[in-house]
Copies of this chain bind each other. A is one copy, B any other.
Amino acid sequence: MTVRHVLTLALALLLALPAAAQPEGPLTIERQGSFFIGGREVQADALSTLPAYAPSGTITVDQVYVRYQVPPAAGGRPLGRPLVLVHGCCLTGKTWETTPDGRMGWDEYFVRRGHPTYVVDQAWRGRSAGSITGINRVRSGKAPADELPTVFSAGHEPAWAIFRFGAAYPQVFPGMRFPLEAQGEFWKQMVPDWLNSLPTPNPTVPALSELARKLDGAVLVSHSQSGIYPFQAAALDRAGIAGIVSIEPGACPAADGDMAPYKGLPVLVLWGDYVELAPRWTPRLKGCRDFAAAANAAGGKVEVAVLPEMGIKGNSHMLMQDNNSLEIADWLAGWLARTTGSGK
């Protein structure tokens, strides 16, 4: 290794270094709290079938719950970009918090590395309210059963292959890193999904645009079912979006679509292991590679990173909860520092 090599490496390490890092021990927060983005008022006539609660009235739906923590700037170093963490199908913001086996989640780890983090519950899920009037209209005879809302839960067994713990329940891919010994705690994270009762784009999408604008330069980090949302948000209003990290997206934008919204925007599409062993996922990775090629031909800055191709093996679909989740977070923090710069 030459002196020049050493200097180049040192510079790269410095650039990747966390701003105001608090690697361990007590954590100091500059400010924290929660709020909602979006939401609209709806007049309804089937809020209740109970005598204690009136059937008619106004409710508010489509808002997106956001919980945030901002670390202090320390030693004159700028903070990292604010990260907006968006969960996937059948899950909530819990995805990014303490792992099923009790390790630190990305929500806290990135704060320790100097990034403000904003964890959301998608519209109509978790702490973000939906409407149940479609149930009560049928129950009270105002509508037929086929007008019931479309809502589903993913069972443990079918979810097993989707999350790529193994090819099928209860098989396990060799070397797979999800903490299956704590799977009972993971299943508790799963909630019913009202996604298919919602308009397109999902109300979460404009909320992400609005949140990014409010944060004046945020990186939208999505996962799985929400993988496409940051792209849709950028197409809607790119003003506040400083970058996109789409983790194992259910879909990337179509390669024959309009690439203008992504021109010059740092985008990372991140994948775990075993994709080629999972028929559900293989075409999705291919679709993202096609998108990256099309976007980059049109002035985009899209990288498709497949962890095993970088020597990081064994990751499931839930890589933010796998037993090397913080190693991946470190790599990601480096990517963010290199490509998306500092927050304001």
Give A36's nearest chain B residue, CB to CB.
B188
Q: Mark A52-73, 1 if CB is under 8 A from B, else 0.
A: 0110111110010101000010
**Residue A150 is within 8 A (CB to CB) of chain B in the complex:** yes
In the complex, A151 Cα to B29 Cα: how many Å? 39
- Asked whether any CB of chain B lies closer than 8 Å to the CB of A307, the reply is no
Contact with B along A21-48 (1 / 0, CB 8 A): 0000011111111111001010010011
Chain B neighbourhood of A56, CB < 8 A: 155
Interface residue A213 (Cβ < 8 Å from any Cβ of B): no
Which of A135-143, A256-264, A332-340 is near enough to bind chain B? A135-143
For residue A37, which residue of chain B has the nearest CB? Answer: B188
Please report the C-alpha to C-alpha distance between residue A149 and residue B158 in the assembled complex, in whole angstroms: 25
Are A153 and B98 closer than 8 Å at their CB atoms?
Answer: no
Contact A48 B153 (CB under 8 A): yes
User: CB distance A108 to B57 under 8 Å?
Assistant: no
Each complex incorporates copies of this chain amounting to 2
Q: Is the CB of B153 within 8 A of A145?
A: no
Say yes or no for A196: interface residue by CB 8 A criterion.
yes
A328 on the B face (CB < 8 A): no
Return 27 A-B CB contacts under 8 Å, by A number. A26-B30, A28-B29, A33-B104, A34-B97, A39-B188, A47-B154, A48-B152, A48-B154, A49-B152, A50-B152, A50-B196, A53-B152, A57-B154, A57-B159, A58-B156, A59-B153, A60-B187, A121-B127, A127-B189, A127-B191, A129-B192, A130-B191, A132-B152, A132-B192, A135-B149, A135-B151, A136-B151
Contact of A139 (CB < 8 Å), options: B47, B148, B157: B148
A105 at the B interface (CB under 8 A): yes
The interface centre, meaning the residue of A39, A121, A187, A188 with most chain B CB atoms within 10 A of its CB, is A188
Task: Indicate if A327 sits at the interface (CB-CB under 8 A).
Answer: no
Q: How far is the CA of A59 from the CA of B138 in the complex (A)?
A: 25
A108 to chain B, nearest CB (A): 7
Indicate which residue in B35, B53, B150 contacts A154 across the interface (CB closer than 8 Å). Answer: B53
